[in-house]
Chains A and B, each alone.
Chain A
Amino acid sequence: MSDDVLVRARGLEVHFPVRGQGLRRKQAGVLRAVDGVDLDILRGETLGLVGESGCGKSTLGNALLRLIPSTGGTIDFAGTDITSLSGRGLRELRRRAGMVFQDPFASLDPRRTVAQTVSEPLEVHGLRSGRSERAQRVGELLELVGLDPAVAGRYPHEFSGGQRQRVGIARALAGEPDFLVCDEAIASLDVSVQAQVLNLLRGLQRQLGLTLLFISHDLSAVRHISDRIAVMYLGRVVEIGPAAAVGTDPQMPYTQALLSAVPLPHPALERQRKRIVLRGDVPSPSAVPSGCRFRTRCPYVFEPCDDVDPALQPAGAPGQLAACHLHGVVGTPATAPDGVTAQP
């Protein structure tokens, strides 16, 4: 494994059992939230992860941090297999990989002061021994995220949404992590506050050499902050590549539709823009279509799409990969429902 990959997922699966209606609630099916994801997150980069609600992007972020168990595949972190880590090893992972949550109102304990919230990781990981040293470190962390260290004694309700999100970021940084997952970290903030938090995250990333996984449904924000963008659809990464390439010249029909649907704040441009309106809704992740999972809504669907599950292959700009047969039929033949591989 090369040194420049910090997080590597191979064939990662997170499947949930779906219980039936009956008295015994027998397992009636499988919900494939994450369904065979191959992903490399490079050291020091910001990888944006986009997709619509239900595509599995949050589940993937949680699984990479071992916050929920995976049901298949492997995860490597800094060269170590963390797929089934426990005890001391898992605790060390918790220090080295942090999370910034979506809702700054729900993710902070209302009964703890900012100082208590931010210093807890310091205690848990034994990073600062004395009380005064911890207090000093809390001050440093608050300053780092643009808050006045004097607010350490206050409670979450005394802060605005943007300030709370800064507290959440300070807590995530307390363990001096290498890797930070931001799950819809700006979704609940107003536009002007969103910009402040985006700038802060970018600044911190440069200053501390962090590796960021920035999960969001907001493509404009993702393209602004990311070096590379990965697009998810129904539990699978269907396109990945440099932010400029994926953001302007997407190679997978789903990404094209997603981008064309993003409203732009330019009236003249909006009037002449052609929107690709997709048919219908996203299929349920407990009934994933065979072959290409996007084929039920794809405007370009053709013969191999039914039978062959497309693999990511080079398309477009250097470093850009798309899972689509339009760039050549590459992938695994569809499996029968009972799990037996069909003959190609």
Chain B
Amino acid sequence: MTAPVLEVSDLRVRLRTPRGPADVVNGLSYTVGPGETVAVVGESGSGKSVSVLALLGLLPARVATVSGRALLQGEDLLTMKPERLRQVRGPGAGMVFQDPMTSLNPVLTIGRQLIEGIRAHGDVDKAAARRRAADLLGEVGLPDPERALDRYPHELSGGMRQRVVIAIALSNSPALLIADEATTALDVTVQAQIIDLVEKLQAERGTGVIWITHDLGVVAGIADRVLVMYGGRCVEDGTVDDVLERPAHPYTRGLLGALPDLAEPVDGVVPDLATVPGTPPPPTDLPKGCVFWPRCPVRGDARCEHEQPPLAVIGSAAATLPHRAATWCTEGPEGGRAG
């Protein structure tokens, strides 16, 4: 078996807020293999973005306390010196953010922003860096890359801008690509183009990808493995088929039930969508027991309120990618047993 690109264990992030300490990420562990796509899903406030910002040291040290371990190709990102971290961002891990308008500098040309990254991490002269930048833009499907280098972000459409951001993230052939809601602001047809592009580049280069999204449809299309986050914890993980087709955690089930499904045939009366009542708990005041307990439709076990359920294997433990869920709930529609 090949060594994982990223190995995160027991990642915790605590933020200082005016309302007291907020536990935004509470013991997150996962690995990303070469060429593998791990999708992190959850609603706003579940801690999915903060968990990756913490990995790359992008949280302000004054307010954030990060603990745990995050080995990127064997090196711990969390204890790394700032100089080393700066070297790693780029060739080690590239990041694509949600909004391409705010992640590009509006007063610099596309070319300058690309060449800056290329020259920061490699000993290349200007002309060679420019050639490489044009190649990259061509690779991500920008028409007329040579001319695009001299354009400003506002001259491009949203989809084209996001391609530029991806080109920047890929400019140093990172081992790991982190996409944080990278296609959320885009139209579905453009989203399809971007996803195709990332999958193609991933297949060519064997990049490991962390894809953060709230869109379970996107997850079904791109992920090998899924991690469902709620209240800063991983409440369920497993292969994409296990999690989406045989969800074990009541929260995952609620999320899937709340989704209008285009694949479902309509005849006669369309039933109402299932909803998850209530709102997620504030990270400053997480429930003592199961994080989902206050909203759970099937709670009943005495332990739900007081005891935190561990992430336990469901079904076959021998599977290469076990399906795990953190719940005391022992019965499901599929008859699966947790515990």
Contact = CB atoms under 8 A, between A and B. Distances in A.
Interface of A: 52-53, 160, 162, 190-196, 198-199, 202-203, 217-221, 223-225, 243-244, 247-248, 257-270, 275, 277-278, 280-281
Nearest to A242: B266
Interface string B249-278: 000001111111111011100101111100
Interface of B: 43-44, 143, 157-160, 187-193, 196, 214-221, 223, 240-241, 244-245, 254-263, 265-267, 270, 272-276, 279
Contacts of B217: 220, 262-265, 270
B260 A224 contact: yes
B219 A265 contact: yes
A266 B220 contact: yes
Nearest to A51: B187
Nearest to B280: A190
Contact of A199 (B43, B240, B273): B273
Contacts of A263: 188, 191, 215, 217-218, 220-221
A277 B188 CA distance: 10
B189 A199 contact: no
B258 A191 contact: yes
Contact of A262 (B255, B257, B262, B279): B262
Given A223-B266, A244-B266, 14 more contacts: A193-B279, A195-B259, A195-B260, A195-B273, A198-B273, A261-B192, A263-B220, A265-B244, A266-B220, A267-B223, A267-B241, A268-B241, A277-B189, A281-B160
A52 B189 CA distance: 8
A260 B192 CA distance: 9
Contacts of B221: 263-264, 267, 270
Contacts of B192: 260-261, 275, 277
A194 B258 CA distance: 8
Contacts of A281: 157, 159-160, 190
Contact of A219 (B157, B190, B244, B262): B262
- Count chain A CB atoms within 10 A of each CB in B188, B191, B263, B276 and give the residue with the most: B188
Contacts of A280: 143
15 contacts: A52-B187, A52-B190, A160-B279, A198-B260, A198-B273, A203-B272, A223-B262, A244-B265, A248-B265, A262-B217, A263-B188, A263-B218, A267-B241, A267-B245, A277-B192
